[in-house]
Amino acid sequence: MFQASTPSSQLSKPAQYDELIAQARSLMADEADRIANAANFSSLVFNSLEGLNWAGFYFFDGVELVVGPFQGKPACVRIPLGKGVCGTAAQTRATQVVRDVHEFPGHIACDSASQSEIVVPLVAADGALIGVWDVDSPLVARFDDEDAKGMEALCRVFVELAWTPASSK
């Protein structure tokens, strides 16, 4: 049975992410359903890290990004590639760390409380775009390079465990 223990804010960021990665592996290891895994992954991160107001997925439907499981206020449903922080991460396939969303040209304001955000592209083993993992904060400059490394590592676990056929896990 999965035991959630909130990573202590006393831990360093890398240690917090190490703990989250172990918890994410435990949550998804025996489950093949993508929506179930995405829902629990977003809840795990949202409820474990401090200073967040939104954490969730946008999945690529072949044309644009469509909102998936998330925690936080209702969000914009569809985002074209190249638009906003999410669309930029998807198009460039590069993690976007935005210290102040008001300085990001074309930022899409779903929740006016959001001040900073990090978006990690999700790419399958065969190179196909899966979507993006988007985390927002009401604090300016909430995310730094350590968050980028930690979120990227978490997203690798998500792609490995949630986007790999159970037969080849």
Catalog residues that contact ligand SME under the rule CB under 6 A.
54, 75-76, 79, 84-86, 107-108, 110, 114, 117, 134, 136
Residue 101 CB, nearest approach to ligand SME (Å): 7
Residue sitting closest to ligand SME (CB): 84
Letter string b/e over residues 82-110, b meaning 16 or more CB atoms within 10 A of that residue's CB: ebbbbbbbbeeeebbbbeebeebeebbeb
Closest CB to ligand SME among residues 49, 161: 49
Q: How far, in Å, CA of 88 to CA of 121, rounded?
A: 9
Q: How far, in Å, CA of 118 to CA of 125, rounded?
A: 22
Closest CB to ligand SME among residues 16, 114: 114
Residue 49 CB, nearest approach to ligand SME (Å): 16
Closest CB to ligand SME among residues 95, 114: 114
Kind of pairing, strands 96-98 and 78-80? unpaired
Residue 120 CB, nearest approach to ligand SME (Å): 12
Q: How far, in Å, CA of 43 to CA of 35, rounded?
A: 12
- Name the token pair of 72: 């936080």
Closest CB to ligand SME among residues 68, 150: 68
Residue 2 CB, nearest approach to ligand SME (Å): 26
